[in-house]
């Protein structure tokens, strides 16, 4: 079964990934987030966007890729999930593409166990791994993040 899908494509450690365009707000230059003690290891911190807070996620670690620290050449991909805005640390956003999504090839071994990876699409010059943004955070991670944010807000007052 083929479906046409608008995707925002990006790279991490030489791997190509994409998210549904509808879930992406925009890409911004990397910015150092404020620490969020008590959050999970995939959370690098929080970023003040003015009217709201973005939870900055280490996308590399989330999908099992190596990561040392945020660099100035990286970008934050701001995405919406139910109840939150996430900032994903990515190496480079390459653009918006419309792709045919079908059952495609199997998911590579290093990503197979990852629940946020939904499928792979063939593109002109290779393969692209499509992620499901609503699965970036597990329920237990959401709970820890909410508790950490509540403590952070309480401590600020």
Predicted confidence (pLDDT) at residue 112 exceeds the cutoff of 70:
no
What count of other Cβ atoms lies within 10 Å of the Cβ of residue 65?
17
Q: Please report, for the domain that includes residue 107, its CATH number.
A: 2.40.50.180
Residue 50 is given by DSSP the state S
CB 97 within 8 A of CB 104: no
Mean pLDDT of the chain: 84
- Which tokens belong to 110? 């290093």
% of the chain surpassing 90 pLDDT:
34
Separation of alpha carbons 56 and 41, rounded Å: 11
How many C-alpha atoms does 141 have within 13 Å on its Cβ side?
16
Question: Using one digit for the tens of pLDDT, what is the confidence trace for 48-64?
Answer: 988 888 999 989 888 88
pLDDT of residue 55: 93
Question: Using one digit for the tens of pLDDT, what is the confidence trace for 25-45?
Answer: 999 999 899 988 888 888 999
* Domain assignment of residue 35, given as a range: 3-156
List CB contacts of 5: < 8 A, sequence separation 6 or more: 20, 98, 99, 100, 101, 130
Separation of alpha carbons 46 and 49, rounded Å: 9
Number of domains the chain is built from: 1
């Amino acid at each position: 079964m083929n479906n046409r899908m608008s995707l925002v494509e990006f790279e991490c450690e030489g791997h190509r990934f994409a998210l549904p365009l509808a879930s992406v707000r925009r890409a911004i230059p990397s910015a150092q987030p404020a620490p969020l003690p008590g959050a999970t290891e995939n959370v690098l911190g929080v970023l003040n966007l003015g009217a709201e807070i973005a939870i900055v996620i280490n996308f590399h670690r989330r999908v099992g890729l190596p990561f040392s620290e945020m660099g100035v050449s990286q970008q934050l991909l701001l995405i919406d999930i139910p109840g939150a805005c996430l900032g994903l640390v990515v190496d480079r956003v390459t653009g918006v593409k419309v792709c045919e999504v079908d059952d495609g090839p199997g998911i590579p071994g290093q990503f197979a166990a990852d629940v946020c990876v939904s499928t792979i699409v063939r593109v002109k010059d290779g393969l692209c791994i499509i992620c499901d943004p609503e699965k970036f955070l597990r329920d237990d991670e959401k709970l820890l993040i909410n508790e950490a944010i509540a403590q952070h807000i309480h401590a600020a007052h």
